Amino acid sequence: MIPPMNAVRTISQEAFDELVKENMDDLGMDPVESLQDAIETLTLQGVDLSGIVTCVPGEGGVNDNPVMQCLNELKASSKDQNLDENLDSVADSFENLAELCGVQGSGNAAIATRNGAVELICSLCSKIQIVQEKVLVSALKAMASVLHDLQSTEIFRASGGQSVVMNILNGGVQNLDILNSGFAVVAAAATGNEVLKDSFMELKIDELILQALNRQSEGSIQSLYDAIRVLLTPDDNRVLASQVFGYARKFANIGIAEALVASLQAELSSPSLVSASIALKAVAVNDEICRSISENGGIDALLRCIDDSGEQGNKSVARVFCSLLSKLAGSDTNKNVIIEKGGLDRLIKLSARFSDDPSVLQEIMSIISILSLRSPERAARAMEAGSGDLAIQAMQKFAAAQQMQKSACLMIRNLVARNPENRTILLNNGVEKHIRKAKQNHEFCKEAATDALRDLGLDDYNS
């Protein structure tokens, strides 16, 4: 069972407005001063003011707030028996609401949620027909924009929003715009909410995702990858044992991993590649799945993506692809595949292209560390490719980058643990001083540095 949300102190819009009025009437404050005092007083008392419309008295009431205007227009439409005759104006209201609530830090999404936006949009979406594409897409955009926290997603769940959205997605599976906006709602709703993840799985969203992935030859569905990632992320802190790893296995069993590999192979220059890579990493939760990804050409495609990211000089993209390769390298079978396909040389080449970015270097060293683990042969090949030089040069150049320093220590340990010849090469090249410096300067690196010094055969590794 998931425990209820922690209670927080709240205040109604009416009570807030009354407090502002009292400051003016009883204490003689001017409108601006009375509003500011009410906000400060309630904040100090620990009252949650999210969703409250704060406006200076005399400058228009709550209903003059742009979010409230959109909601009032939509409420009026929901009561109109001739909804079909006003679809253009309804679509405009949805678009305006989505734009307002999409502004980060504005508080507009909270205002909308407090004033019934989630329930209202769910109700309207259940009335709009699939053929009315324009207004439906606008409605789904608005829905995604108001689902911003656990409270809003719980209202969505209580309103049957998951069933409403799944009905729309199933009915509009031929329409890329509906799929894109609908999966954006899935991603927003399932973020931080384990119960909704489970609800979507019960409604067979995995089968729908596979259908949508197989339609991507007609166009990319960016939000589809976001939905996969969110559904497979254990991000609900109310839950001790998330079910998402079981969902990932189910995704793989029906062919979603293979479909994601196909996405990587289809358009090597597509902007959706990064999202597809992140989604595939979320699915790759065990050795069997990692091997199946390789068997379906995933490592080939990923190494090409890594090559492209280096040629294009795109650091952020390179990090994402390296992170996925690191995950796939966890399979012993895949380790050999990566090396056989020239993966070590390609990684060293990438490190040369991004020699000024420790965040990329640490990802590369993490992969090499995994490839070298408990394998003298692979560790020897890693040294031949230039991994030792990479470690020494990076540690010297980025002494303050503690995560990279730790990655270097871990890689060095795996390179030398079962390879005496590698120890000799690295020690002769002066690696010891860099490891000791990392150990001295970064508490975060202390354990990894100690292990590296020990496996280098140094007696005073604890000093």
pLDDT in tens, 67-78: 999 999 999 988
Q: What pLDDT is stored for residue 57 in this prediction?
A: 64
More confident residue, 9 or 222: 222
pTM value > 0.75: yes
Cα end-to-end span (Å), the chain: 50
Q: What pLDDT is stored for residue 1 in this prediction?
A: 47
pLDDT band at 217 (very low <50, low <70, confident <90, very high): low
The torsion angles phi and psi of 396, rounded to 5 degrees, stand at -70, -40
Q: Report CA dihedral (83, 95, 200, 285) to the nearest 10 degrees.
A: 160
Structural domain boundaries of the chain? Answer: 204-233+242-341, 344-463
> In one letter, which amino acid is 17?
D
More confident residue, 135 or 10: 135
CA distances from 328 to 70, 228, 292, 321, 322 (A): 48, 18, 10, 11, 10
Give the lowest-confidence range in 5-9, 177-181, 422-426: 5-9
CA distances from 144 to 129, 152, 177, 190, 408 (A): 19, 10, 14, 11, 42
> In one letter, which amino acid is 445?
C
Q: What is the CATH number of domain 344-463?
A: 1.25.10.10
Average pLDDT of the chain is 92
Query: Residue 6 pLDDT > 70, yes or no?
Result: no
Please name the residue that has the structure tokens 């040069």. 393
Task: With beta carbons less than 8 A apart as the criterion, state whether 307 and 265 touch.
Answer: no
**Tokens, residue 449:** 């540095």
d(CA 236, CA 154): 12
Q: Would you give the distance in Å from CA 175 to the centre of its chain? A: 25
CA atoms within 13 A on the CB side of 116: 12
Give the lowest-confidence range in 47-51, 149-153, 384-388: 47-51
Q: What pLDDT is stored for residue 37 in this prediction?
A: 82
**Tokens, residue 171:** 């009915």
Q: What pLDDT is stored for residue 50 in this prediction?
A: 82
**Tokens, residue 362:** 């640490």
d(CA 353, CA 243): 40
Task: With beta carbons less than 8 A apart as the criterion, state whether 323 and 367 touch.
Answer: no
Please name the residue that has the structure tokens 């479909």. 259
pLDDT band at 340 (very low <50, low <70, confident <90, very high): very high
How confident is the model over 381-387, as a mean pLDDT?
98
pLDDT in tens, 266-314: 755 567 889 999 999 999 999 999 999 999 999 999 999 999 999 999 9
Hey, which residues does 10 pair with through a beta bridge? 48
d(CA 242, CA 236): 8
Q: What pLDDT is stored for residue 266 in this prediction?
A: 75
Hey, which residues does 9 pair with through a beta bridge? 47
The torsion angles phi and psi of 288, rounded to 5 degrees, stand at -60, -45
pLDDT band at 82 (very low <50, low <70, confident <90, very high): low
The torsion angles phi and psi of 387, rounded to 5 degrees, stand at -65, -35
Q: What pLDDT is stored for residue 213 in this prediction?
A: 93
Q: What pLDDT is stored for residue 20 in this prediction?
A: 82
Pick the closest to residue 362 from 428, 423, 409 (CA basis).
409
Query: Residue 225 pLDDT > 90, yes or no?
Result: yes
Q: Is 8 exposed, middle or buried (0-12, 13-18, 19+ CB in 10 A)?
A: exposed
Give the lowest-confidence range in 74-88, 102-116, 188-202: 74-88
pLDDT band at 18 (very low <50, low <70, confident <90, very high): confident
d(CA 410, CA 405): 9
